[in-house]
Structure 1
Amino acid sequence: MEPLRFPGRGVEGLEASVRRLMAESEQQARLLDSLSAAPDDSALPYARFTPGMTPGLPLPVAAPEPRFILTLDAVAFEAELDALSDWVHDFLLPTYGAEVSTAMPWCRQWAEHLDVVGWLHALWMAYQQHTDPEAGLSGPAVWHRDFLTHTMAAIRAPGGPLSACMTSLDRPSHRILPSPGPVPTPGDEQPAENGVAA
């Protein structure tokens, strides 16, 4: 099939119109691409401000993520221990403290028992998570079932970390049980006082 040919000057005018229309079409395609891309506001004068912020004031610093108390440095540890102590004394013990007995020992100086501090801090973090409205209506029940019961049973067990402390309110007592310490390597054994190796 042979191409169509138009006689006279109209053909050049038609070709010019087609070229112009194609160039405009390409320009519109580029414009559409630029409009659909995410805007780059970094060069705009308001870019360093967020809605609701006063110009000239620094942006707020995000609150730090909660961290387990035994991983904190000394200053942060003390601040977190103060907050934990408030929760233990104002909420946990009055509500879930139960009576002190040989089956359920306690220690008024519990904060000196590092393992107990770890247990109670983990319990407190779980409490905060499960009483948050986002936890849903069953959040507190999950906290009781999965965290409170197990934690209290572990730290207040007759052979637990507080077993050498107070077993009666009439006899306040506090003693930190020694840890097993490092395992000796062969050749590091110390001879016993009677001359027999331990």
Structure 2
Amino acid sequence: MSDPDTEAEDGTEGETEDAPELMYDTLDAWFSDFLAHVYARDLGQSRVWCPEWWLHPEAVYRLDALWRSWEHLRLDGALGPSVWLRDHLDPHMAQLMSPDGPFKGCDHERGHRRPRMSRLPGDPPDGFF
């Protein structure tokens, strides 16, 4: 009988690969020790940032995706960094730092200046789905 944890993609039994060890244990460690240094930008009207980014659910979700994709792609020394920059970092940071993005209304020095929307409006009527 085969163990689904050790079954290879072709249906044969094989070795279970251990997940590679993370370079950073947490999102905040990766942000502070890596991203904040690598992606330094002038901030102003065309780029918005919140020093309390962890209070923005979309920012946490995007930055977590960036951290996890970086941890995976850093292991591919040939193309991993370039793929990560092109396919992950640049599009996510453009969305995060957009003047109309999740940090709209925030100031990179003072943090939040006005309340933000807590969720998108739109609850379907009961029984619609």
TM-score normalised by the chain length of structure 1: 0.47
| 1:111 corresponds to | 54
Choose the corresponding residue for 1:173, options 111, 123, 128: 111
CA distance in 2, matches of 1:161, 1:176: 12
Choose the corresponding residue for 1:183, options 111, 123, 126: 123
Q: Alpha carbons of 1:139 and 1:155: their partners in 2 closer, same or farther (altered >3 Å)? A: same
Offset at 1:182? 3.2
Bigger Rg over Cα: 1
Give 1:119-134 correspondences, 5 Å limit.
119-132=62-75
| 2:35 corresponds to | 92
Offset at 1:117? 0.3
1:134-154: CA deviation from partner (whole Å, max 9, x where unpaired):
x24111001011001001001
**Displaced runs of 4 or more, over 2 A:** 179-186
Equivalent pairs: percent with the same residue? 33
Secondary structure at the aligned position of 1:92 is classed as helix
1:16-74: CA deviation from partner (whole Å, max 9, x where unpaired):
xxxxxxxxxxxxxxxxxxxxxxxxxxxxxxxxxxxxxxxxxxxxxx76xx9xxxxxxxx
Offset at 1:108? 0.9
CA RMSD of aligned residues (A): 2.4
1:144-176: CA deviation from partner (whole Å, max 9, x where unpaired):
11001001001110100011111x54xx12155
Task: Return the letter of the residue paired with 1:99.
Answer: D
Offset at 1:184? 5.6
CA distance in 2, matches of 1:91, 1:164: 26
TM-score normalised by the chain length of structure 2: 0.70
Task: Return the letter of the residue paired with 2:123.
Answer: V
Instruction: Verify the 8 A CA contact 1:103 1:157 in the aligned structure 2.
Output: yes
Give 1:115-154 correspondences, 5 Å limit.
115-132=58-75, 135-154=76-95
CA distance in 2, matches of 1:92, 1:117: 13
Offset at 1:120? 0.3
CA distance in 1, matches of 2:46, 2:89: 17
Greater relative CO (CA pairs within 8 A, separation 6+): 2
User: 1:159 aligned to 2:100?
Assistant: yes
Structure 1: 5+ residue runs without aligned partners?
A: 1-61, 67-79, 187-198
